[in-house]
A and B are shown apart, each in its own frame.
Chain A
Amino acid sequence: MSKRVLVVDDSSMMRKMIVKLLQPPGHIVVGQAKNGIEAIQLYKELKPDIVTMDITMRDMDGLEAAKEILRHDKDAHIIFLSNLDEEIYRAEVEKLGALGFASKHKAKEILEMIEEEDGKH
């Protein structure tokens, strides 16, 4: 089923790549944010089904933004998408209550995670 997605990444190029990845299976990118502050604001405005979240960003990083979003809506579905070491950071984002962690060079994994999440409902 198609999902409404908020894409958060400080790199405009990466945002473009994620959008390109999400659109063919029918997902709708409802918004794009380039830092944590924008992400929180857009989340509250748009109420997306899924958030793809970068970790290292200027102004406010993704972990902090995710905490704030989850405080606002404990059912938020956040998938982290980062260049950072998967082994080290996966545990951290799972502790936070995120849906999952994908390495940017394996960004396609987010499609599987969205599908998996969809299957649960």
Chain B
Amino acid sequence: MSTLFRAAESLSLKTRAFFFYGLTVLLTLLAAAGVVYEHGLTLLLLALLIAVQTAALFVFHHYVLKPLAHVHAATRQMTDGHLDILARIARQDEIGRLGESINDLAVNMQEVLLFVWNHSQQSRELFDQTAERLAAPEPLPTIQDNLKKMRQNNEDLKAIVLSFSYFEIRLEHERMLAESDCGNDGQG
């Protein structure tokens, strides 16, 4: 029994929807047959139909509306900058997967921001070191070396930026270009 219950818990929303649709159609047909043949079971079938519809509403509330509200709340928090909030649903259905994808977005965003933080930290150290070196009697080799490192840091940061694709923006030949002809008002 408990395995059956667990299996029912892991059903996708699509399967649930089809299940209730099928049950409704079947009961409607049976009730219609009851009307045609004046069978006494018609009232009972109609009552069953209402029960199934009520159950469907409950399932819709429990498996769709509630988890959606949860994912929505978590997503709002993330757009406000709270990347520590999880949009996690402990289910493998469609909404669970949606929540997981939203989490992945937050994880990637965190990754980029931490990379930028490390990058600026390192650049600052190199700047400080260079400034210090300028006062020394033989500053050139260290400064050249530091400049090379800064340039490499810069390239690494650019590689991260280039691993995304952007809305309406193309990064090409060291320049940021609009994907379409922005000045044309979308006419040409």
Contact = CB atoms under 8 A, between A and B. Distances in A.
20 contacts: A11-B108, A11-B110, A12-B104, A12-B107, A12-B108, A13-B108, A13-B112, A13-B163, A14-B108, A14-B111, A17-B160, A58-B86, A58-B103, A83-B111, A83-B114, A83-B115, A103-B118, A104-B115, A105-B118, A105-B119
A16 interface: yes
Interface of B: 86, 103-104, 107-108, 110-112, 114-115, 117-119, 122, 153, 156-157, 159-160, 163-164
A16 B160 CA distance: 10
The interface size bin for chain A is 10 to 19
Contact of B107 (A10, A16, A104, A105): A10
Contacts of B118: 83, 103-105
A107 B155 CA distance: 13
B104 A16 contact: no
Given A12-B108, A104-B115, A17 B153 contact: no
Contacts of B107: 10-12, 58
Nearest to B110: A11
Interface of A: 10-14, 16-17, 58, 83, 103-107
Contacts of B112: 13
Interface SS of A by simple majority: helix
Contacts of B164: 13
B159 to A, nearest CB: 7
B153 to A, nearest CB: 7
By CB atoms of chain B within 10 A, which of A11, A16, A83 has the most?
A11
A13 B111 contact: yes
Nearest to A11: B111
A17 B119 contact: no
A105 B156 contact: yes
A83 B167 CA distance: 28
Nearest to B119: A105
B172 to A, nearest CB: 19
Nearest to B118: A105
A13 B115 CA distance: 12
A105 B111 contact: no
Contacts of B115: 83, 104-105
Nearest to A13: B108
Nearest to A17: B163
A16 B68 CA distance: 30
Given A83-B114, A83-B115, A83-B118, A17 B104 contact: no
The 8 closest A-B pairs by CB, nearest first: A11-B111, A83-B114, A13-B108, A105-B118, A11-B107, A11-B108, A10-B107, A14-B111
Contact of A17 (B110, B117, B159): B159
Nearest to A54: B111
